[in-house]
Structure 1
């Protein structure tokens, strides 16, 4: 077989079972592409020796037991702690940090036989929508239509770039306000954010603990279903982990959505919405209607408050979570001058170790939690969050099975075009995605077509809590209807 790195998880699994290839061969094909990744800057900590050892072990175990991920090479976002391997969250303050433990998600993946190719680029501490806040420098979108290098979306930009460029067969991501779905949409890949609590957060470096959730980033919906089944499950080490059985998500992909009701939220149709995005959204609704679903207009009235609510809550939680990085126990410590005490060590370490975007969010979070402003900002945001969640509950109570919306307000833009000018404009890229995190609901981005400039666009489906199986089946149907097979031409 040729172009082994271009296989999907399902294709690689079947080829391994049939004896048509080996995990070592697939892994070597991916490692070769990673070495040639060039400007994409997707893999930032490469682990070829570990990968080949894991691949040899998978081949030695054999493939008779049908383990879905046995021998499948994956990329791991730099936010997941991996024992003995750099886990920096793309931040200078964690330079050289090699955990003595393994995150629950990577433990589950490796127990299912997956192979780790290395660690993937991301926005620092997952704070960003473009992968430009990384201490490693930005990851680059493999899609290219002119002389610009384009952003792959964030914060899981390295994961999206690597999957789209066939550097790996699949990858892990995390989603706090759209960080799986948005980069998936901008790179023509699939990404699902599960229900909050479906996947353990233990061993994942925290940004905003009530919003963070891990999920897979893959080439197809089927691959996401396979990978999510391996990642999900109850974990005693995570108090927010739900003690619920994990369905066979792949078995749910029947492609039959007759009788399903799909809601179209009128509040998402913003003034000045990109014409390509609006057209694709209408086409997606028509495709689901053709597949036998009923499409209805719905109202999510508190949507307009979602973005400020999200940035108050996320920044407040970040301010608390990142207080632990002080140069005392692990990570970088700034050089101190004569007479410097512990206060100067804290100040100099945090000033040197955190990048501008992280510093900005810590300051915002500290402000909204301060005594004089707690009620005016943080407490009010918590109340609005409850209203946003209630909007979704009301829609689902009225018989809606899933909600169709855009994933991003535009196709990918050039590196430096937004981040160098206006942080608030960058935050607006999360306008369609943050509501799910506030409500704790599952959402999936499916590549649905190309914009007029030739760049990929994704559509987002939002599901009921704990019903990822049903959501993935609707996403699978949409994927079949769109027939999206476009890939970026190799230029890097």
Structure 2
């Protein structure tokens, strides 16, 4: 039998139903795996006792014939989701000691459907980053790094900001994980680690109980080993929430049923503007291979134009920091988390925020406060909002001639920790293919599609119409089957 930690969610559900193993046995195997990946600094908080308690309850439900759609599946939670009674840090020193008295809507729905929590995983501080290197708790190392754990030949990034979520799946220490995506933070780390990540349409998953970065862009989504697993997990995560004013009240489809394998007659848009200067030749070749795979499956490639793509990154790095500046004003040392005393209230605020926020978070707060200030609001923030509207219109126009859009996930393979870190602009360019989708509020997913010459994973990105995750998953499933990505990280292999 396949090792319990190497099962997909679908296989694990099948094995649990057949009584090949119990939820407790499945969870125990993953708890041991969590202990084994400690050198990679994936987990901020491990919850083995809670996991085994949840697994035992799952076995009891299954014995009564009351198993839920995710019953007994051990997953990890990005440490941006509030979990009742369990430390929630957002990767920041300023939230030291914060244990929420409430559960985020997304995680509460996962527990409702029987999922088991292994713990909280690492991320870039407040989800601001592309490599999971800015957390107060330290950097996460990708299981794709060559060499033995702790004695790597070089340390490879897991992507970000959901790098812990991507790494834990690639390392076979969880069957899935929650992620959040503000400008590519699910899809880019999925592409970098040979895993699947889907950012649903804005409003599909509740944002309530998720520590906010940029409220008009943030969206939760699943990160898994396969497209089928993403469909399983997404169904539990979605749903209307009256506590979130941006949550959309519409039925949640059976996403798994959409994986028919039949994409004959579908039109696949290929945006000419995504062949950007500096695009790696091997990524361009992989993109062409993806087009060929879909054509062989009966889809029709069509060229589309997204002319405002070149302005997306600049607009994003005005809008997102502006919203972050407002959202992070609440962390002042008064109500919860870190407090650094001062001679008066103003000094206490300054001392707390200066000590509590890392350099990247401080940089984005400063940028955001600047673009919202008097005299600059119209020149920067309003202009960026207008560009955002144009980007949305570009996608609306493109989808008149296609059903789904295919692009690379990232412009390069994952890089080594230490590279690019001194140049924020180079770091921001990692998200050049993912940011436009957040600005437009569309669903998108990354599917592992091959290995680069350096032996590191490459992903292809699919972009769908609003609330058409079913088509996205159906096409992604076809890409996954054609790519037949079976490579394992050195740590697992």
CA deviation after TM superposition for structure 1 residue 487, in Å: 1.0
8 Å contact kept, 1:47–1:118: yes
Deviation sequence 1:196-243 (CA, Å, 0-9, x none): 000000000000000000000000000000000000000000000000
Task: Find the partner of 2:313 among 307, 310, 313.
Answer: 307
Deviations, residues 274-299 of structure 1 (Å, cap 9, x unaligned):
01111100000000000000001110
Q: Does structure 1 residue 284 correspond to structure 2 residue 282?
A: no
2:379 aligned to 376, 381, 389, which one? 376
In the alignment, structure 1 segments of 5+ residues that lack a partner are none
TM-score (norm 2): 0.98
2:92 corresponding residue in structure 1: 91
CA distance in 2, matches of 1:244, 1:319: 32
Give the equivalent residue in structure 2 for 1:477: 478
Q: Aligned residue for 1:411?
A: 413
Aligned residue number for residue 59 of structure 2? 59
Per-residue CA deviation, residues 107-155 of structure 1 (Å, 9 max, x unaligned), is 0000000000000000000000000001110111111247111000000
Moved more, 100-109 or 33-42: 33-42
For 1:215 and 1:388, the matched residues in 2 are separated by 22
CA-to-partner distance for each residue in 1:144-200, whole Å, 9 max, x for gaps? 247111000000000000000001010000000000000000000000000000000
Partner secondary structure for residue 461 of structure 1: strand
Deviations 1:331-376 (A, max 9, x none): 000133xxx1110010000000000000000000000000010000
Task: Please give the alpha-carbon distance, in whole angstroms, between the structure 1 residues aligned to 2:146 and 2:266.
Answer: 38
Task: State the shift of 1:67 in Å.
Answer: 2.4
Classify the secondary structure of the residue corresponding to 1:458. Answer: strand
Which residue matches 2:11?
A: 11
Instruction: List 4+ stretches of structure 1 deviating above 6 A.
Output: none
Give the match's secondary structure for 2:399: helix
**Counterpart-to-counterpart distance in 1, 2:259 and 2:2:** 28
Aligned pair count reads: 487
| C-alpha distance in 2 between matches for 1:197 and 1:215 | 11
Q: Report the equivalent of 2:124.
A: 123
* Distance in 2 of aligned mates of 1:371 and 1:306: 24
TM-score normalised by length of structure 1: 0.98
Kindly indicate whether the alpha-carbon contact (under 8 Å) linking 1:17 and 1:66 is maintained by their aligned counterparts in 2: no
Question: 1:313-332 alignment to 2 at 5 Å?
Answer: 313-332=319-338
8 Å CA contact retained: 2:146, 2:155: no
In 2: Cα distance, 1:157 partner to 1:180 partner: 8
Spell out the pairing of 1:76-225 with structure 2 (5 A cutoff).
Answer: 76-145=77-146, 147-225=153-231
Partner-residue secondary structure (3-state), 2:405: strand
SS at match of 1:62: helix
Q: Which residue of 1 aligns with 2:150?
A: none
Partner-residue secondary structure (3-state), 1:80: coil
Q: CA RMSD in A?
A: 1.1
Cα shift at 1:6? 1.3
Check conservation: 1:91, 1:125, Cα contact below 8 A: yes
Preserved contact between residue 86 and residue 96 of structure 1 (Cα < 8 Å): yes
